[in-house]
Amino acid sequence: MKSNDLKKLAKLVRYYILASTVAAGSGHPTSSLSATDLMTVLMFGNFFRFDFAHRDNLANDRLIFSKGHASPLFYALYLAAGVITPHEMMTLRKFGSRLEGHATPRFPYTEVATGSLGQGLSVGVGMALALKMNSDLGFKIYEEDKRNNHKSKFIIHKSAPRVYVLLGDSEIAEGAVWEAVNLASYYKLSNLVAIVDVNRLGQTGETMLGWDTGRYKKRFEAFGWETAIIDGHDYKQILQCYHAAILQKKSDKPIVIIAKTIKGKGVSFLENKNGWHGKPILREQLDAALKELGKVDLKIRGKVSLPQLGIRSNELRIENNKNIRNPKFTNHNHYKLGDQVATRKAFGLALARLGETYPMIVSLDAEVSNSTYAEIFREKFPDRFFEMFVAEQNMVGAAVGFARLGFIPFVSSFVAFLTRGFDQIRMAAISGANVKFCGSHAGVSIGEDGPSQMGLEDIAMFRAVHSSVVLYPADAVATEKLVEEMVKHKGICYLRTTRPATPVIYDNNEKFPIGGIKIHYPQKTADAGEKASLVKKPVIIIAAGITLFEALKAQGELGKRGIEATVVDCYSIKPIGKEKLAKLVSTLKNKSNAPVQIVTVEDHWYDGGLGDAVLAALSDIDGIMIHKLAVSKMPQSGKPQELLDFEKISARAIVAKVLSII
């Protein structure tokens, strides 16, 4: 498309940016206007390639608006492409509309939800890594031929599709941006293109560097990026830059285009004026603003080029074409009762086993793979393991990028460090991302490393994430089964693992469905069967992970005193086995006139963890009393058992609590 036609399209885009935000009565028109020329040329100048009829085509380029508040521009571009109708454009920000204030996947051409600044480039890194796996890491894209016995036709192409990320200059202050910049250079993501809209003004005033594009250039170059500085409103410069940076690019470096722009460009009373961020113009100002745009052709539409691969299909997939380099691994992991195995190691073994069955599994670890045991997966599938270094926010964002392209990313680190990426996890949920997390070294049971290393907030954190699954296995068998359950479940899942080795207590044939529990009846009841008379003073001890073993020890000690306590392994904290717990409580209530005493025990802070999950699950049941044992004092270095005793979550503390309430 010629420069004059691109300018006509840009007028159309600006028209709908202004009109839609006036209709909505809110929005970010000035932040959208500054990047309009840049993005119009990108989308309609034969640079961005996308098959609108097949949005999941893996040959498509990807576009991420990290400056998510520029959603009026984002939607107006798709209107100019003929994807959105003018009528729908005017539903911007209205209840029920797909066009939300900050774009989410409810609008199907949104790759991931953005709007929490500083995250888009990390997602772009994940996507670029995933797409480069085709050419750099021995993967092949194939198209399923449904007319020919469902055989696969392999298609090899040299250049991976590109990932474009639009960033605002305000968000460049975010540390996560530089985590992404650093990793993109390390992995030589030549298919990643960042475009920085340097319009000088943030929400409350001038940004840190203002219009000093030279300093932006030096910073990106210091991280090993190729750079270009342009006037973001000069079409000749934009076209020449894109042509050189995209169509003629030869280096293996990622590239950033640093564009000096004017906030509010196109409307004189908005241009470079502070105080307009996040504010639409008034209705009575709209005519004057549109008059400044000049004549707008409301019927003009632009054409987006199709992918270079030349395949129009949603059936493209990525398939691993590499032979397994280390054949010593077995297909199944079997454990013997009584064996001492850390659940973190069982996680690594399970992930490596499942990697054979599920070729879309990839592993991302924050330089602790020898502790999380993700190194076992790395040894078996080196081409599907990605070292993300000590940069957890970027790791989570990149995992969202992998997930968007159909991979099943497993993100692993110490529990304490995963909390650093909570905002990225929260945004992943808004995107509906299929990301799996494993946090090791949970709780005070890690021992001597001290409180800075003790993850004690993680259950509360992941429980708060929309539609999440939170799992806490006690032994290797439970871990083995639950990792596979995570793979099968679509959505965010969190597995909490323990540092010290724990005994195997479950048979290899046991099943551990998400939402289930395991009941350990007192020995007398187990011998007599479930229908036997239980106790006169019913007691239930609910635990998970490391505290299950303390609960079982307490059960034995209480048995010696003639007190029969039923222990529940609540390995699925969310969703919790509400119906099964209620059934157990009902059974015990029917055997006794006394209230059922329930003690929850967890290696987690008092608030938001297992105890609160149990309280919520059983809140509508009468005739019960729930008592929580949890970490309540600031822990310190020491032996694991010393710390369990110190926090009163050990077998000794459980026995004392039960004796005090019956």
Q: In this predicted structure, what is the pLDDT of residue 532?
A: 41
Q: Which tens digit of pLDDT belongs to each residue from 18-58?
A: 999 999 999 999 999 999 999 999 999 999 999 999 998 88
Statement: residue 110 has pLDDT above 90: yes
Residues of the chain with CATH 3.40.50.920: 518-661
Query: Both ends of the chain: CA-CA distance in Å?
Result: 81
Element (H, E) at 364: strand 361-365
| Look-up of token digits 């474009």 | 164
3-293 in CATH: which number? 3.40.50.970
Statement: residue 136 has pLDDT above 70: no
Q: In this predicted structure, what is the pLDDT of residue 250?
A: 87
Q: In this predicted structure, what is the pLDDT of residue 314?
A: 61
**Hey, what amino acid is at 146?**
K
Q: Which tens digit of pLDDT belongs to each residue from 192-249?
A: 999 999 999 999 999 999 999 999 999 999 999 999 999 999 999 999 999 999 988 8
Say how far apart CA 286 and CA 18 lie, in whole Å: 7
Residues of the chain with CATH 3.40.50.970: 3-293, 322-503
Q: Which tens digit of pLDDT belongs to each residue from 459-470?
A: 999 999 999 999
| Look-up of token digits 């990290």 | 66
Statement: residue 529 has pLDDT above 80: no
* 322-503 under CATH 3.40.50.300, yes or no: no
C-beta neighbour count of 524 within 10 angstroms: 13
Element (H, E) at 428: helix 422-430
Q: Which tens digit of pLDDT belongs to each residue from 60-89?
A: 999 999 999 999 999 999 999 999 999 999
Q: What secondary structure does DSSP assign to 177-210, as a single string?
A: HHHHHHHHHHTT-TTEEEEEEE-SB-SSSB-SST
Q: Which tens digit of pLDDT belongs to each residue from 292-304?
A: 999 999 999 999 9
CB 578 within 8 A of CB 617: yes
Give catalytic residues, as residue numbers.
392
| 575 preceded by a cis bond (ω within 30 of 0) | yes
Tell me which fold the domain 518-661 belongs to. Rossmann fold (3.40.50)
pTM of the model as a whole: 0.93
Q: In this predicted structure, what is the pLDDT of residue 316?
A: 54
Q: Which tens digit of pLDDT belongs to each residue from 547-577?
A: 999 999 999 999 999 999 999 999 999 999 9
Q: Which tens digit of pLDDT belongs to each residue from 485-514?
A: 999 999 999 999 999 999 999 999 999 999
